[in-house]
Amino acid sequence: MDAAANNDVTSGSDFFARAREKLSPTPPTNLYDEHLPLRGDHDGDQALRALSEIKPVRYAAVLVPVINRREPSVLLTLRTDNLSTHAGQVAFPGGRIDDTDATPAETAMREAEEEIALDRRFVSVVGFSDIYLSGTGFRIVPVVARVEPGFELKPNPAEVADVFEVPLQFLMGPENHQRHSREWRGMMRSYYAMPFGDRYIWGVTAGILRVLYERLYA
């Protein structure tokens, strides 16, 4: 039986306890190690693996904001259609790591403030998930955080078309982790997708959630 099958994450207490136990409490020290084996979009997709290995390496961090409600949820954004990368896709708040950012957590919280005005007073870092390599060459540090209710959001219209929540129970349920494929730049690529109502959660966002599930429950 799947390890998550006996688990009830609706209260959030088990999720946060597992995150504190199984995730790294400090940022990765090997982010810039060129030979580090990484999880990512290329998992199970050899064509994308070959492409990702010739892309210039860039570094980013995203906030995985788990809201500590009675039935916890994950805060996600819908990117605007006019962005140069990942336009119109569901994403975590986040972006490139700047030289002025002390840690990936600082990057993730700064970006969350800039994108959706999430006040960091409501945010506490729980741990850091596996570095995730995107097909566009980004090494992404997922910063898993506990967010207390009471915040007010104001999406930046230049970057974010909408902000919404998805139940944590749904995202950590392996029965909702689908494998989809589509043609991309002349080749078929395979990826995780977690359709939720009219929200199509896929690619990097779904991949990071899948890795988080594997880390905590599988």
> pLDDT tens for residues 71-125?
999 999 998 877 555 556 899 999 999 999 999 999 999 999 999 999 999 999 9
Mean pLDDT estimate for the chain? 86
Asked if the model's pLDDT at residue 1 lies above 80, the reply is: no
> pLDDT tens for residues 164-200?
999 999 999 999 999 998 766 666 678 899 999 999 9
Q: Which residues pair with 145 in a beta bridge?
A: 65, 125
Whole-angstrom CA distances from 70 to 8, 86, 153, 165 are 12, 32, 20, 14
Q: Which residues pair with 160 in a beta bridge?
A: 79
Residue with tokens 């959630």: 209
CB contact at 8 A, 32 and 104: no
Sign of CA dihedral 75, 21, 132, 106: positive
> pLDDT tens for residues 41-65?
655 555 545 555 555 678 999 999 9
Q: What is the amino acid identity at position 76?
A: L
Whole-angstrom CA distances from 78 to 23, 39, 86, 91, 169 are 27, 24, 10, 6, 20
pLDDT at 77: 97
CB contact at 8 A, 56 and 137: yes
> pLDDT tens for residues 122-158?
999 999 999 998 877 788 999 999 999 999 999 999 9
The dotted CATH code for 13-30+38-216 is 3.90.79.10
